C-alpha cells in the first residue's frame, strides 16, 4: 500500500497503491461494452465527475458547513450510528454508508439514493441521480451490486471546501444492465481503482460534496 501516517490515532493515506496509480481507469460507463443508456450528463469521467483538484493541506478539526441544505431531500433515518459523529472515524463510516447507498441506487434502482446524502452542488452526485432516473424510466437495473470496496481511509490532501476527503478502494464488478425480462442492454467490465469522497457537515450531518477518481 501507499505511504501512511497516523494523526491522533487516525490513519491518513498520502499515496495510493502503485498497482492502482498506473491505471487510467474510470468507474462506470467507461467499462461498457454494449449500447445505451448514455452516460449521465455533467460527468467528465463517466459516472464520476471530476471536481477541482485537492489542496495539499493537513486534516484539521471538522468545521461547520451549510452547503446544499436548501434543496436536499430529507436526510435518511437509517444512517448507522457510527457514521454520524463529527470525527475522522465518523467520516470514514459515512463514506462506507454512501457506497452502500450508491450500490442500492443502481440495483433497485432507486432515485434519491445519493441526493439525500449529498449537497445540491455535488456535480458527480447529480450525475449518479441522472443515471438512476434513466434506469427507472426504462425499467432497467444492474443485475448485481457494481462496487465492492476493500478499504476506506482518510487522505492527507483534503479537497478545498471539504472537512475530510476519504479514499475508497473499489473493485468494480463485471455487471449487466438488464430490463424487466432479464434481457441485457449493456455490460460493464471489471475494474479496480480508488474513489475520493469529499465530505462536509450540514445541520449536524455528513454530506458528500464531491466524488472523484484518484488518478
User: pLDDT per residue over 171-194, tens digit each?
Assistant: 989 999 999 999 999 998 888 899
- Residue 8, pLDDT > 70, answer no
Instruction: State the chain's mean pLDDT as an integer.
Output: 75
User: When comparing pLDDT for 185 and 5, which is higher?
Assistant: 185
User: When comparing pLDDT for 215 and 6, which is higher?
Assistant: 215
Instruction: Give the confidence band of 73 by pLDDT, cuts at 50, 70, 90.
Output: confident
**Distance of alpha carbon 152 from its chain centroid, rounded?**
11
CATH number of the domain at 12, please. 3.10.450
DSSP letter (8 states) at residue 31: G
Domain span at residue 83?
4-213
Q: Is 141 left (phi over 0), alpha (psi -120 to 50) or beta?
A: beta
Residue indicated by cell numbers 471546501: 161
Residue indicated by cell numbers 449518479: 128
Per-residue model confidence as pLDDT tens digits over 95-116: 999 999 999 999 999 999 999 9
- Residue 152, pLDDT > 70, answer yes
One-character DSSP codes across 92-131 = HHHHHHHHHHHHHHHHTT-TTTTGGGB-TT-HHHHHHHHH
Which of the listed ranges 36-45, 48-57, 126-135 does the model predict with the highest average pLDDT?
A: 126-135
How many folded domains does the chain comprise? 1
Exposed, middle or buried, 112 (CB in 10 Å: 0-12/13-18/19+)? middle
Provide mean pLDDT across the span 61-75.
50
DSSP letter (8 states) at residue 82: G
Q: Is 96 left (phi over 0), alpha (psi -120 to 50) or beta?
A: alpha
Tell me the C-alpha distance between 172 and 202, whole Å: 30
Instruction: Give the confidence band of 136 by pLDDT, cuts at 50, 70, 90.
Output: very high
Amino acid at each position: 500500500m501507499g505511504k501512511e501516517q497516523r494523526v491522533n490515532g487516525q490513519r491518513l493515506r498520502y499515496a495510493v497503491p502503485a498497482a492502482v496509480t498506473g491505471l487510467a481507469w474510470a468507474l462506470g460507463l467507461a467499462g461498457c461494452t454494449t449500447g445505451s443508456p448514455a452516460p449521465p450528463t455533467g460527468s467528465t469521467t463517466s459516472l464520476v465527475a471530476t471536481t477541482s483538484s485537492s489542496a495539499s493541506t493537513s486534516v484539521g478539526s471538522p468545521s461547520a458547513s451549510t452547503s446544499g441544505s436548501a434543496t436536499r431531500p430529507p436526510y435518511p433515518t437509517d444512517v448507522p450510528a457510527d457514521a454520524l459523529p463529527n470525527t475522522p472515524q465518523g467520516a470514514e463510516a459515512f463514506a462506507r454508508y454512501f457506497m452502500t447507498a450508491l450500490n442500492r441506487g443502481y440495483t433497485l434502482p432507486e432515485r434519491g439514493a445519493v441526493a439525500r446524502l449529498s449537497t445540491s452542488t455535488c456535480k458527480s452526485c447529480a450525475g449518479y441521480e441522472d443515471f438512476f432516473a434513466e434506469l427507472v424510466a426504462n425499467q432497467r437495473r444492474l443485475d448485481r451490486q457494481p462496487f465492492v470496496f476493500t478499504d476506506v481511509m482518510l487522505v492527507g490532501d483534503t479537497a478545498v471546501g471539504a472537512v475530510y476527503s476519504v479514499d475508497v478502494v473499489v473493485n468494480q464488478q463485471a455487471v449487466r444492465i438488464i430490463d424487466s425480462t432479464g434481457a441485457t442492454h449493456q455490460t460493464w467490465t471489471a475494474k479496480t481503482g480508488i474513489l475520493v469522497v469529499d465530505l462536509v457537515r450540514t445541520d449536524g450531518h455528513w454530506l458528500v460534496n464531491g466524488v472523484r477518481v484518484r488518478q
